[in-house]
Amino acid sequence: MNSQIQGKRALVTGGNKGIGFAICQGLLQAGFEVIIAARSLDKAKAAIQKLPANASVRAVELDVTDDNSIHRAAEQLSQDGLDVLVNNAGVYPDQGVNILNVSRSILQQAMSTNTFGPIHVTQAFLPLLQKAKLARVINVSSGYGELGGLSADVPSYCLSKLALNGATIMLAEALQSQGIAFYAMCPGWVKTDMGGENAPRSPEQGADTAIWLATEASPDLSGKFFRDRQEISY
Ligand code: NAP
């Protein structure tokens, strides 16, 4: 437990399972009060049941594709500041499609969750982030969002994470003067419902860089992209 983190609050979207849940566990261990945001309150509460009974954690309903849900969550939590926001919720809708046949609805689904979600969650929670001293926002991106990682067989996901990386750069620039740092990170290929059974990394390994960004990384690194605690190129 880090004494400088005592009393700080963090919110993780899609915190009920996979990498998001591992990020919640790591942030709790570091000393944060953690808010598990999930698209249903029951899922967030079920995740809390898997944590120690004395964990400093609460649940909130937040569907990142639904502006009403986002604003309700921000309103519910508005009495206090928010030190760390982890935009983790994501979907991978590219099953059996490629850039030559992907439908508009698949593209919309990926963009709405993976790109517009983090932008609108950040906008709604900005008044809370502004109350914190040196707030940090971590966007969980992917190697598929690197310019060198784009794949014609993963069209909507790649484009959504490429655009999320762009949004990270723009948000960092827009809020630099307010001392709010933005980072994009790639967790590697992780064994989760999304990553599948063959993935080499555990959710804890996938969560490590996000936890480091939330606790240790310099605010001077705002706007950069990371994997394994190292800066990587967009
Ligand atoms: P996962 O196990 O499928 O979990 C995804 C999480 O996002 C779930 O909590 C899910 O909620 C939530 N979610 C999806 N749509 C949502 C919405 N509209 N509103 C709120 N929450 C929503 O996937 P994961 O592997 O942990 O992925 C976490 C992040 O890491 C994603 O951004 C993903 O793109 C990224 N990533 C993963 C890998 C990998 O290998 N696994 C690699 C690179 C990047 P429900 O439980 O309700 O479905």
> For this structure, is 157 an active site residue?
yes
Q: Which of 144, 157, 183, 234 is catalytic?
A: 157
Domain boundaries, the chain: 9-232
Identity (one letter) of the amino acid at 130? Q
Indicate which residue's Cα is closest to atom 13 of ligand 1. Answer: 89
The pLDDT of residue 33 is 98
The pLDDT of residue 159 is 98
Instruction: Assign a CATH topology to domain 9-232.
Output: Rossmann fold (3.40.50)
The pLDDT of residue 155 is 98
Helices (H), ranges, 31-134: 41-49, 67-76, 104-110, 117-131
Indicate which residue's Cα is closest to atom 43 of ligand 1. Answer: 142
Low-confidence ranges of the chain (pLDDT < 50): none
Measured between alpha carbons, how far is 121 from 100 in angstroms, rounded to an integer?
A: 31
Which letter does DSSP use for residue 155 in this model? H
The pLDDT of residue 1 is 65
Q: Is 46 touching ligand 1 by the criterion CB < 6 Å?
A: no
Q: Is 190 touching ligand 1 by the criterion CB < 6 Å?
A: yes
Q: Is 112 touching ligand 1 by the criterion CB < 6 Å?
A: no
55-59: long-range pairs with CB below 8 Å, 24+: 55/28, 56/28, 56/32, 57/24, 57/28, 57/33, 58/33, 58/34, 59/35
